[in-house]
């Protein structure tokens, strides 16, 4: 249910960091999206977004790698230790705590 372009970007990320990329949230149905507090127009609903974790990599360092790969949307969630990555049609990189 994930868009092929998103999978291509994730494969690129994995090749650069040479570590497994763990998808903690990928495609979501509307009911599950609501349950986890996702926004109504979430890119998870159409397979264009994932939330990821990577073991033994500083989150800031991972963020910088993802910015260089040029994901269209990046959410930085330091308290929960994950990144949101998406391939939305327009670039909108953002950071949050």
CA distance 81 to 1: 24
Say whether pLDDT at 97 is over 90: no
With 0-12 / 13-18 / 19 or more C-beta atoms within 10 angstroms meaning exposed / middle / buried, residue 10 is: buried
- Tens digit of each residue's pLDDT (9 = 90 or more) over 16-75: 999 999 999 999 999 999 999 999 999 999 999 999 999 999 999 999 999 999 899 999
Indicate yes or no: pTM above 0.95.
Answer: no
- Domains within the chain, CATH numbers bracketed: 4-93 (3.30.1380.10)
All residues at 6 or more sequence positions from 30 whose CB lies less than 8 Å from its CB, including other chains: 45
DSSP state of 56: T
């Amino acid at each position: 249910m994930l868009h092929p372009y998103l999978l291509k970007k994730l494969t690129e990320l994995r090749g650069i960091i040479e570590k497994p990329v763990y998808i903690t949230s990928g495609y979501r149905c509307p009911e599950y999206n609501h349950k986890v507090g996702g926004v109504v127009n979430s890119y998870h609903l159409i397979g264009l977004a994932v939330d990821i974790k990577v073991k033994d990599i500083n989150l800031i360092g991972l963020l910088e790698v993802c910015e260089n790969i040029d994901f269209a949307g990046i959410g930085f969630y330091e308290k929960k230790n994950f990144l949101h990555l998406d391939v939305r049609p327009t670039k909108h990189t953002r950071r949050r705590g």
